[in-house]
Amino acid sequence: AYGGQMSGVCISQLPNPPTMSPTDASGADFWYPDYETAWSDAGCKNERPPPFNTGDRPVYSTRIQCCKSAYGGQMSGKCLSELPNPPTVAPTPSGGLSVFYPDYSKAWPEGVCVNTRPMPSGRPTYGTKESCCNGAYGGQTSQKCLCDAVGVCHSCVCGTQAERDAQGCALTCS
């Protein structure tokens, strides 16, 4: 009888009236903390319908905002691990360290100084590769460390005369 009614008054009087536009099948456009799960195992959700009334718990526009606010300090990292591209709990910096340390994995005559990550605990550190060689491998007759640190111009044992000439070394060896 009211099929063509443009105002929608008749339909709005139904106990559970349908919406005039289709319901989006994806999640809600906000994120909320999952209070139904233990804090250490919980994360943020955007499921519909939310299990709370508007204003009963905080909501956030992004998942990361929700994780930072509701689960900041969560040692398990559960909330952050559920992100599409989760950060690591302890990011590993890239590149070499700003200090050098002796590489004890080699025999002493072949030893050199490195600045690779991770640095083993208990190693002495030096500000430069050359100072590391002088401190950790002083007296090394092979001069392997200083040759590696300074280059072929350091000593006659560091390379061939052709290599020294190519580098423009003042050092001439016979």
DSSP percent split of the chain into helix, strand, coil, nearest 5: 30, 5, 65
In this prediction, residue 1 carries a pLDDT of 65
pLDDT (0 to 100) of residue 15:
78
Give the Cβ contact number of residue 109 at 10 Å.
12
pLDDT at residue 30, rounded to an integer: 95
The pLDDT score that the predictor gives to residue 95 is 80
C-alpha radius of gyration, the chain, whole number: 33
pLDDT of residue 17: 66
Pairing status of strand 113-114 against strand 101-102: antiparallel
Cβ neighbours of residue 155 under 8 Å, at least 6 residues apart?
A: 143, 146, 147, 171
- How does pLDDT run along the chain (174 residues), one tens digit per residue? 666 677 777 777 777 766 655 555 678 899 999 999 999 999 999 998 999 998 999 999 999 999 999 998 888 889 999 998 887 656 566 788 999 999 999 999 999 999 998 888 899 999 999 999 999 999 999 999 999 999 999 999 999 999 999 999 998 887
Please give the Cα distance from 96 to 103 (Å, whole number). 14
* Whether the Cβ atoms of residue 154 and residue 137 lie closer than 8 Å to each other: no
Cα separation, 167 vs 158, in Å, equals: 12
Q: What is the pLDDT of residue 24?
A: 55
First-to-last alpha carbon distance for the chain, in angstroms, is 112
Q: Determine the Cα–Cα distance for residues 124 and 172; give it in Å rounded to an integer.
A: 34
